[in-house]
Amino acid sequence: MKLRKINFINFRNLKDSSIKFNENFNLFHGKNGQGKTSILEAIYFTATGKSFRSNKIQELIKYEKDKCGSYLEYEDRLGKKNISVKFSDRKKEYNFNGKKVNHEEFYGKINAVIFIPEDIELITGSPSIRRKFFDEEISQSNEEYYKLLKNFSKVLKVRNQYLKEKKTKDEIYQVYEEEFIFLASNIIKKRIEYINRISILLNLNYRKIFDDKKELNIKYVSEINYDKKDSLEKIKEKIKNEIKKQVLNEKKYGHSLVGPQRDEFKFLLNEKDSKSFSSQGEKKSIIFSLKLSEIDMIYKEKRENPIFIIDDISSYFDNSRKKNILDYLKNRKIQLFISSTNKLDIDSENFEIKNGEILC
């Protein structure tokens, strides 16, 4: 997949512009505070409808304005397409090939993988950060998973409400209970499958680029002892049994104590939890390898490379690591959008950003 061109209006500090992209490497360089991250954010926003640095889309609108918008021309395996997002009055409007579409139709048309300094939180942060990350990853290439999650979150809310109000004898509660177990087991099954697959790729990438003497794995962690090979039926049965065990506690605390909302993911470097044991440098390398594995997974699912966005590459890696990484991405023919405070010694289209303006 290649992005050809972007247009944006009223986006952060950026001057309204149109940028034509190089099909390989695009470098946005300039001093701090000029708008480099904002350009990457505009690209990501148009591709996914989201920002990677804020949950409040309102913040993307240029100060003093009341709406913003962006438009992308791109090409995938099947040909040229365009997509756009407008944001005003707290609402997003999506267009695909000139026609209005809803979020579900829009999402996943362009696959984007992103690497930002804050990603280190995927290791150091709370379990909910990892859950959110993996849920989004799986959803990107698996629409069914996205729907399962959406339904699960509704059913979980209702189930919790019933537990809180101590109405578990209600007939309707039993219906929710069935649905809860059905959705929970399907989500867990898909997560375990995904973890099994990405873990192999992660180890390969880490060893290839960073350290061939170590073994890196991801483990699915739960109160319930799931096995990699558990069938859907087996998972269902384990959840049912655990709910039986927890029934009194669930009533006592008034919320669900079993299910994917409580589970967690761990990065194990040489079998040790990297949250507690890995160095800062190793953590960065683990997350970067994870992003490369995400690219591999998307390629396997869609037969197409996602675009790859790297914010502030210089703050991550020394020159020799940087060269390794960029050579690797070049060979893979991945379209790259990177920002850096200095020019890099690479074959790329260079855009200098000064005061929100793009100087070529």
Q: Indicate which single residue of 7, 10, 37, 278 sits in contact with Mg ion (rule: CB under 5 A).
A: 37
Please give the DSSP secondary-structure letter assigned to residue 137.
H
Residue 62 interacting entry, from ligand ADP, Mg ion, none, C-beta within 5 to 8 Å by type: ligand ADP
Q: What is the H or E stretch that residue 240 is in?
A: helix 232-253
Complex with ligand ADP: residue 35 or 260, whichever CB lies closer: 35
Residue 276 interacting entry, from ligand ADP, Mg ion, none, C-beta within 5 to 8 Å by type: none
- Nearest approach in angstroms of CB 36 to ligand ADP is 3
- Nearest approach in angstroms of CB 66 to ligand ADP is 12
Complex with ligand ADP: residue 7 or 205, whichever CB lies closer: 7
- For the record, the structure tokens of 101 come out as 């579409």
Q: Helix 280-302 and helix 171-209: axis angle, to 10°? A: 110
Torsion of CA 190, 208, 216, 294, to 10 degrees: -30
Interface positions, 129-158, toward Mg ion (CB under 5 A) = none
Complex with Mg ion: residue 41 or 294, whichever CB lies closer: 41
Residue nearest Mg ion, Cβ-based = 37
- Phi first, then psi, for residue 210 (nearest 5°) are -115, -50
38 is an interface residue for Mg ion by CB under 5 A: no
3-state class (DSSP) for residue 221: strand
Counting Cα atoms < 13 Å in the Cβ hemisphere of 103 gives 10
- Nearest approach in angstroms of CB 41 to ligand ADP is 7
**Which range binds Mg ion by CB under 5 A, 37-45, 53-61, 101-109, 317-325?**
37-45
- Nearest approach in angstroms of CB 338 to ligand ADP is 12
- Nearest approach in angstroms of CB 282 to ligand ADP is 26
- For the record, the structure tokens of 115 come out as 């690497």
Residue 33 interacting entry, from Mg ion, ligand ADP, none, C-beta within 5 to 8 Å by type: ligand ADP
Binding-site size for Mg ion (CB under 5 A) equals 2
* Length of the chain in terms of residues written: 360
Counting Cα atoms < 13 Å in the Cβ hemisphere of 112 gives 26
Residue 259 interacting entry, from ligand ADP, Mg ion, none, C-beta within 5 to 8 Å by type: none
Q: Which residue has the tokens 């809310």?
A: 157
Closest CA to 218 of 79, 122, 85: 122
Separation between Cα atoms, residue 34 and residue 32, nearest integer Å: 6
**Which range binds Mg ion by CB under 5 A, 36-44, 203-211, 231-239, 296-304?**
36-44
- Nearest approach in angstroms of CB 17 to Mg ion is 17
Residue 191 interacting entry, from ligand ADP, Mg ion, none, C-beta within 5 to 8 Å by type: none
- Nearest approach in angstroms of CB 19 to ligand ADP is 15
Cβ–Cβ under 8 Å, residues 238 and 224 = yes
Interface positions, 318-357, toward Mg ion (CB under 5 A) = none
- For the record, the structure tokens of 293 come out as 């594995």
Give the residues lining the site for ligand ADP (CB under 6 A).
12-13, 30, 32-38, 59, 61-63, 353
3-state class (DSSP) for residue 117: helix
- Phi first, then psi, for residue 169 (nearest 5°) are -85, -15
The residues of the shown chain that bind Mg ion, judged by CB under 5 A, are 36-37
